[in-house]
Chains A and B, each alone.
Chain A
């Protein structure tokens, strides 16, 4: 089945450093969603990208969807301790259904040292 590969598995940074996590697929992705899960918490939706080459920003977070729609990235500028958590990318099944079936990447666990 469709697989979404996510790297790195772990990332340790000093507060103030930048952070990037990448998702890659061998086949074209119809869309990509990003979720954040704080330690002890539950996944929280961050953003969805659907267009080739799309770039979206949320304050210090920048999300990109590759031109070929085979990869995506999440970049955080100047990390803060509140950024700690696991970041997941996920592809939702293409249209035609009344629900979304998400294929998750393995996640990147971000640790921020103060």
Chain B
């Protein structure tokens, strides 16, 4: 199984809502990532988890809160978002080490109204 799954596929939320994005992989990968992607732009790294510990936070605003409950799951909790946070949110995973390909999930298309 070389699949990364993400739910939901689409999400519309108001600026006062709280919602969560979920990501799951069963490839035994110990590194998991959250990216934000705007139209016609490359993915921007937000967070990296390695062995369920947060390794990188790319100065992401605190209205985004990541969580890694176990080695297969990654969540992104959203609260008090702004319209400019509307984007495609991609989860990815990779094997241990830096020189391995990343497997991306299909993404969650988020719209903040």
Q: Which residues of A contact B (CB under 8 A)?
A: 31, 33, 41-45, 48, 50, 86, 88, 90, 92-102, 104-107, 109
Contacts and interface: CB of A to CB of B under 8 A. Distances in A.
A100 B105 contact: no
B81 interface: no
Contact of B104 (A43, A94, A98): A43
Contacts of A95: 97-99
Q: DSSP class of B's interface residues: helix, strand, loop or mixed? A: loop
29 contacts: A33-B101, A41-B106, A42-B104, A43-B43, A43-B104, A44-B104, A45-B103, A48-B99, A86-B40, A90-B42, A92-B98, A92-B100, A95-B97, A95-B98, A95-B99, A97-B97, A98-B30, A98-B55, A98-B98, A99-B31, A99-B33, A99-B97, A100-B94, A100-B97, A100-B99, A101-B45, A104-B42, A105-B42, A107-B41
A42 B105 contact: yes
A102 B45 contact: yes
Contacts of A100: 31, 94, 97-100, 102
Contacts of A101: 45, 48, 56, 98
A50 B34 CA distance: 25
Contacts of B31: 98-100
Contacts, number: 76
Q: Is the interface of A mostly helix, strand, loop or mixed?
A: loop
A94 B102 contact: no
Contacts of A94: 98
